[in-house]
Copies of this chain bind each other. A is one copy, B any other.
Amino acid sequence: MSTSALPYRPHNHDACVAQALADARAICQQRNARLTPTRERVLELIWQSHKPLGAYDVLAVLAEDGHNAAPPTVYRALDFLQQYGLVHRIASLNAFVGCTHAGKHHNGMFLICRSCGNVLELTAPDVAKAVSQAASAEAFQPEDVMIEIAGLCPACRANAPHD
């Protein structure tokens, strides 16, 4: 299996979500973190979407669930999930995606299609290395690396080659 994620290749979405949840449970158990029902539900929603989901999108679905949640509930769940590397925040979209390399406490690189909205998370060692070297050259100590690339995914490029 490749390190790359979902949008481009077809896959069994339910199974993929179930797998992500199972991984999350394992990770939390191992690290003595409580994946409470709300947190798990938020993670599930984010995975089900597969496109970046805003905090208020999550909130809206929780409301449909009958869960009478307020913004802090969602933001707290998201903070927790980020802390344990289960979701990533896409700063350029103010939105969240499920992490496809959960439990590694890494910084991914995101390919964001401006047409279909899908996001692909990559681990690119060459990029990480180049970034780290560039920072070192300035005596800067990196802690959190955000790389977000907006553009066109292969599918959308094929559909609209002349954009």
Contact = CB atoms under 8 A, between A and B. Distances in A.
User: Chain A interface secondary structure, helix, strand, loop or mixed?
Assistant: mixed
Copies of this chain in its oligomeric complex: 2
Interface residues of A, number: 37
Given A109-B131, A134-B109, A138-B8, A146 B146 contact: yes
B150 A147 contact: no
A157 B141 contact: yes
Given A92-B146, A146-B148, A148-B146, A153 B140 contact: yes
Interface stretch (A37-45, A96-104, A119-127): A119-127
Contacts of A146: 91-92, 146-150
A139 interface: yes
Contact of A148 (B91, B120, B127, B134): B91
Interface of A: 4, 8, 91-92, 109, 111, 113-114, 120, 122, 124, 126-127, 129-131, 133-135, 138-154, 157
